[in-house]
Amino acid sequence: MVATVKNGSVGVVEAQSCTFAYPPDELVLENGEKLGPITMAYETYGKLNADKSNAILIVHALSGDAHVAGLSKADGSVGWWDEMVGPGKAFDTNKYFVISSNVIGGCKGSTGPSSTNPKTGKPYGIDFPVITIRDMVDAQRHLIDHLGIKRLLTVSGGSMGGMQVVQWMVSYPERIKSAIPIATALRHSPQQIAFNEVGRQAIMADPNWQGGNYYGGAPPANGLSVARMVGHITYMSDISMAEKFGRRFKNERQVFKFTPNFEVEGYLQYRGNNFVKRFDANSYLYITKAIDYFDVTEGINIGEIFKGVDARVLVIAFKSDWLYPAYQSQEIVRACKLAGIEVTYCEIDSTYGHDAFLLEITEETHLIRYFLEKVHHGELTEDYEI
């Protein structure tokens, strides 16, 4: 069933794309390999003002895409952060020009493993080069150049999106006026890497994966579904799962049966089965590996990470988030303070776990709306209160 346009929505939106890095000017990746040409899918909302000072880039998490808000013209789906982007919302499209793109390595319009390799005429598969968060941001910078924008008012995102925000601060500090990293980290911890590795192994153990060359045949649906189930457990909290499911049975209790009797079992299977309909297994492998490689502290004193950054920063974390616990956001704050950056830290008392960055709309709207208003008009001071 196709959703209908709600009040405050940006309405029906259509994905756009731009292509760059044509040979011999391919994008040089962090590992030294080259990739090109590169197509990036993106959407925009609102209007760019005359001096192009109201542009905001929203970057997505692992399973996200460019469709942040409104109704997709292609399939009628609602954007993944629709309640945050639109007229009068946190990212107010009456005031700001909002941009969102699908990362390279993705499978929703941007160049990734399922894209055609121009050298072979077949999908890249695992011949696609290893990518990093820095490579994703480098590609986004090309998109911003394509749109003729010199400096972004802010760049914002949660989870992997927050990592891209941090990377923007490191790679292109002169191109951003502010940054809003949400529920994220300066580097992936061993536990975070471990969860991703379980998901990758589930995919690669599926016979249909075929070494990554499954295009044109049956995809590794079972493996990808299990990977998503594992991931989804980490997105919730013990409290949120207890409140949502408890130990309730779907139907009459059946002892010693291995069907999904518990509601939580049925929910995880439902999420896993739906995920395989919209996501590519190889993209999952590449993107989770990029997240695991992420470490802006590698070989650098924490006080030097953001040296020279002239941007205001709002860091948001959530108390029940055990996937990206608050101490990791506090490390970002510490690095900012050591670099002399104006930074505000807000820890929201939520029971939703990591998913809170998608669900705590009221709190985030209050924080972000105020922050952007002050940044846009240059009135923010280091000690302002929200």
17 a catalytic residue: no
Q: How far apart are CA 168 and CA 133, in angstroms?
A: 10
82 a catalytic residue: no
Tokens of 299: 């070989």
Alpha-carbon radius of gyration of the chain: 21
Q: Which of 135, 138, 321, 355 is catalytic?
A: 321
Q: Which of 110, 354, 355, 376 is catalytic?
A: 354
321 a catalytic residue: yes
Q: Which residues pair with 101 in a beta bridge?
A: 42
Cα within 13 Å of Cα(84), Cβ side: 26
Q: How far apart are CA 311 and CA 101, in angstroms?
A: 22
Q: Which of 159, 178, 237, 283 is catalytic?
A: 159
Q: How far apart are CA 300 and CA 211, in angstroms?
A: 37
Q: Which residues pair with 39 in a beta bridge?
A: 19
Distance of CA 173 to the CA centre of its chain: 20
DSSP assignment string, 45-75: ES---TTS--EEEE---TT--S--SSEETTT
Looking at the chain, which runs of residues are DSSP E strands? 12-13, 16-20, 27-28, 34-35, 38-45, 55-58, 71-72, 85-86, 91-92, 97-101, 116-117, 122-123, 154-158, 178-182, 312-318, 343-348
Tokens of 159: 């989870």
Tokens of 91: 């990212």
Cα within 13 Å of Cα(225), Cβ side: 18
Reduced to 3 states (helix: H, G, I; strand: E, B; else coil), residue 319 is: coil
Q: How far apart are CA 345 and CA 359, in angstroms?
A: 19
Active site residues: 159, 321, 354
